[in-house]
Amino acid sequence: MIDVHDLSKRFPDLHQGEVVALDGISFEVRPGEVFGLLGPNGAGKTTCLRLLSTILRPTSGTASIDGKDIVEEPDEVRARIGFLSGTTGLYDRMTARETVEYFGRLYGLSEEQLSESIERIFTTLSIHEFADVLTIRLSTGMRQKVSIARTLVHDPPVLIFDEPTTGLDVLVARAVLDTVARLRDEGKCIIYSTHIMREVERLCDRLAIIHRGRILAEGSQRDIMAASDQPDLEEHFFDLVSRFESTLAEVTAEIGQEPQRDAGEVNS
């Protein structure tokens, strides 16, 4: 349901001229699986997800969501996705229920559909006890549950999670992971960005290791580890990144240039 082909994004920079945030990546994600984007901060994960969700336009390459092109059919893409990040904002003067209702209406749900959806999601995520509390008064974990409900209210076939456990305590983070696993079992197509190895090992059916906007390895955890002489995924990850940095340093030294820096927060 997600097809990405040679997708690139470059940003102008006053000092560097141009920063490559994403450098020709390709992958696909199928229904009923979680595809992980594993990489350090600044690797290009968020840039990739913002492109897929039509927040940004690619410099080159193509991608489609459920057969809809992210550039040519952005409205169709948005109707088919739910996008959640660790920094998703909420309206402080709206209650949890009002927030989810608002976004459900934006997606064109009828009042009956909206009522049924909210009842189901609020029960699943245990939101009823604070459903009518202003979001400014909610804890970080509660706010993230509301953000998840907002993401799911229109029952999209494709879900994009960008480091959704950032800043959460252990109990809430586990509830988020349980929710993602349940959605996978329901047949959702899920792309999951993180830099936390434990989450990848628990959730992801397949994954891509990304660094400096490039995919260094892709496949199932078993396939990736089969090509490695490291004892576990974490050690393999560090080995890939270290070897890439060493090679980059050698190449740039030969041509007398500094390695190109990533785009910082804009492509985290």
Q: pLDDT digits over 10-42, tens only?
A: 998 877 778 899 999 999 999 999 999 999 888
Instruction: Find the mean pLDDT for residues 168-173.
Output: 87
What is the DSSP-derived secondary structure letter of residue 95?
B
Instruction: Find the mean pLDDT for residues 157-166.
Output: 92
Strands 2-13 and 81-85, by their bridges, are: unpaired
* Phi-psi map region of 40: left, alpha, beta (phi>0 left; psi -120 to 50 alpha): beta
Query: How many whole angstroms from its chain centre is CA 194?
Result: 8
d(CA 248, CA 108): 49
Which pLDDT band, with edges at 50, 70 and 90, does 99 fall under? very high
Domain boundaries, the chain: 2-85+158-263
Burial-class residue 39 by CB neighbours within 10 Å (0-12, 13-18, 19+).
buried
Contact indicator for 26, 50 with CB cutoff of 8 Å: no
Contact indicator for 155, 107 with CB cutoff of 8 Å: no
Q: Does residue 209 carry a pLDDT above 90?
A: yes
pLDDT of residue 258: 54
Any residues with CB less than 8 A from the CB of 164 and at least 6 apart, and which? 84, 85, 86, 144, 148, 176, 180, 192
Distance spanning both ends of the chain, measured CA to CA: 24
pLDDT of residue 167: 80
**pLDDT tens figures, 33-91:** 999 999 988 899 999 999 999 999 999 999 999 999 999 999 999 999 999 986 668 99
Percent of the chain with pLDDT over 90: 66
Q: Does residue 208 carry a pLDDT above 90?
A: yes
pLDDT of residue 267: 43
pLDDT of residue 114: 97
Query: How many whole angstroms from its chain centre is CA 182?
Result: 17
Which pLDDT band, with edges at 50, 70 and 90, does 256 fall under? low
Q: What topology is assigned to 2-85+158-263 in CATH? A: Rossmann fold (3.40.50)
pLDDT of residue 250: 76
d(CA 259, CA 252): 6
Q: Does residue 232 carry a pLDDT above 70?
A: yes
Phi, psi torsion values for 192, nearest 5 degrees? -130, 115
- Range name among 34-48, 129-143, 199-213, 232-246 with the lowest pLDDT average: 232-246
pLDDT of residue 266: 44
Average pLDDT of every residue of the chain: 90
Any residues with CB less than 8 A from the CB of 61 and at least 6 apart, and which? 4, 5, 6, 7, 8, 24, 25, 26
Half-sphere exposure of 12 (CA within 13 A, CB side): 1
pLDDT of residue 88: 67
Instruction: Find the mean pLDDT for residues 167-171.
Output: 85
pLDDT of residue 42: 86
pLDDT of residue 262: 52
**pLDDT tens figures, 103-124:** 999 999 999 999 999 999 999 9
Q: 220 - beta bridge partners?
A: 206
Strands of the chain, DSSP E: 2-13, 17-29, 33-38, 60-65, 68-69, 81-85, 158-162, 189-194, 206-211, 214-220
pTM (whole model) above 0.85: yes
Q: Which range has highest mean pLDDT (91-100, 223-232, 259-268)? A: 91-100
